[in-house]
Amino acid sequence: MAGLTPQDTAPALVSVPPHAESPPRRWVRHLFDTSARAGILSRPLLDRLPLRRWVPSAVHSLLDYRGGVVALVSGQLSRDRVARRVGRVLGLSTMAVALFTDTRLSLSRRLSIESHELFDYAHGAALLVAPFALGYARRSPGVAAVHVLLGLSTLGVALVTDYRGQRGLHLGGVLRTDPEGIGA
């Protein structure tokens, strides 16, 4: 056994394939991804909005779908005709905008992420004001409370969402692939 090196006597290393990540774990990791792989940053609106970029864009998309369903269902459960119509219009419009925005969880990427952000602010304000401006706050207080709380949550989440597009479509229809270090 003279002349043998330690590499000759060491046991052979067996190649072990990497452990496959489970689909639920991969989906959660994908959902909370805020790296450059998550998309192209939106341009700040009015040079200030959003205030912070804490909520990942994919989580925001899920909250949009949830908010649309809640607005729609709460309106449908009302006996007041105006509250039903407001619930339908605001719920369906929220889901439609979420389905067509340039994000990971959309059906078709037709709307820029900045347009979606503007819609979030307008939609949140509409949910806050509608029960009082259209008079169903007294006739359907439960639906009005749901719409007001949903409006507050929509505005709150919009102020802290890390808006990111997938194709780089921005307001004005300009495609930009280099975000040029837009602030976080």
Domains of the chain: which residue ranges? 65-168
pLDDT at 184 (0 to 100): 43
Phi first, then psi: what are they for 178, rounded to 5°? -110, 110
54 or 136: which leads in pLDDT: 136
Q: Give the C-alpha separation, 92 to 169, whole Å.
A: 23
Of 6-15, 71-80, 128-137, which gets the smallest average pLDDT?
6-15
CB 172 within 8 A of CB 105: no
Pairing of strands 40-41, 164-165: antiparallel
pLDDT at 118 (0 to 100): 86
Look up residue 76 and give its amino acid: Q
pLDDT at 56 (0 to 100): 77
Q: Give the C-alpha separation, 41 to 32, whole Å.
A: 15
pLDDT > 70 fraction of the chain, expressed in percent and rounded: 61
Residue 174 has pLDDT above 80, yes or no: no
138 or 36: which leads in pLDDT: 138
pLDDT at 177 (0 to 100): 47
Residue 181 has pLDDT above 50, yes or no: no
Q: Give the C-alpha separation, 3 to 156, whole Å.
A: 73
CB 67 within 8 A of CB 86: no
Residue 129 has pLDDT above 90, yes or no: yes
Q: Could you tell me which residues are beta bridge partners of residue 41?
A: 164
Helix axes 23-31, 57-76, angle to 10 degrees: 90
Mean pLDDT of the region 160-167? 69
Q: Does the pTM exceed 0.85? A: no
